[in-house]
Amino acid sequence: MKIIIYIRTSTQEQNPENQLKDCELINSYGEYQLIEERQSAFKDDKERIKFEELKKLIKKNKVKHLICWDLDRLYRNRKKLIEFFELCKMYNCQIHSYRQDWLEQLYKIPEPFNEIMHTLMLNLMGWLGEDESKKRSDRISRAVRKKDGITKSYKGNKWGRRRKPINEEYILELYKQGYSTYQIAKMYSDNPKFKSNISHQTAFNIIKKSSSNITKQK
């Protein structure tokens, strides 16, 4: 059985050495294998190669103790963190965290109460996550202002994500080649050059606008 210390930093600038020193302080299980990764744990579309390798080791029953600096080093998403705890429980892998030392108290509880407390702990984590999400939504709702049909933050900035400009010339060129609006929308969305998706209605509106402009010029 292996003892693994998992270190994750979000950017290239962060120094993982501080995390490692803290994790070594709570390691009382012997020699360990270090898995270090520099990648966000929040974005679902970002694959963490090292972390996936760690999960494979857990599923092969090759990890008995997993040590991290903080539980958010594993997952920031509360639901995914709970799922990971369940995975580790299934394969008898204990999670230890420098910043969440209350985990050690759970492991000291005798059977069958340890199972009850483990389930309660997971439920509490889920409830806390939902509560955090609700409070965040409430704060955002109170922070925005709507005036003249435009939603703005309390600072007066326009609210919402900035949309990337659409390359209308590319869409019109595809239309001239005989492609339908559905085909154009898919080809545009699949093109890595633009890194954005459009609907067939958007393509139709651009083509219609272009046709109107040509008619007016005549």
HEC-encoded secondary structure of 162-218: CCCCCCHHHHHHHHHCCCCHHHHHHHHHHCCCCCCCCCHHHHHHHHHHHHHHHHHHC
Chain segment 95-124, per-residue pLDDT in tens? 999 998 888 888 888 887 777 887 787 777
The tens digit of pLDDT for each residue in 9-24 reads 876 556 788 899 999 9
Q: How far apart are CA 187 and CA 165, in angstroms?
A: 16
The confidence score (pLDDT) of residue 156 equals: 59
pLDDT of residue 69: 93
- Specify the CATH superfamily of domain 2-108: Resolvase, N-terminal catalytic domain (3.40.50.1390)
What is the per-residue pLDDT across 157-203, written as a single tens digit (0 to 9) for each?
Answer: 665 556 678 899 999 999 999 999 889 988 998 888 887 888 888 88
Q: What is the SS3 assignment for the chain?
A: CEEEEEEEECCCCCCCHHHHHHHHHHCCCCCCEEEEEECCCCCCCCCCHHHHHHHHHHHCCCEEEEEECCHHHCCCCHHHHHHHHHHHHHCCCEEEECCCCHHHHHHHCCCCHHHHHHHHHHHHHHHHHHHHHHHHHHHHHHHCEEECCEEECCCCCECCCCCCCCCHHHHHHHHHCCCCHHHHHHHHHHCCCCCCCCCHHHHHHHHHHHHHHHHHHC
Average pLDDT, the chain: 81
Break the chain into its structural domains and give their ranges: 2-108, 168-213
pLDDT band of 151, cuts 50, 70, 90: low
Whether 10 contacts 39, CB under 8 Å: yes
Residue identified by tokens 């069958």 is 112
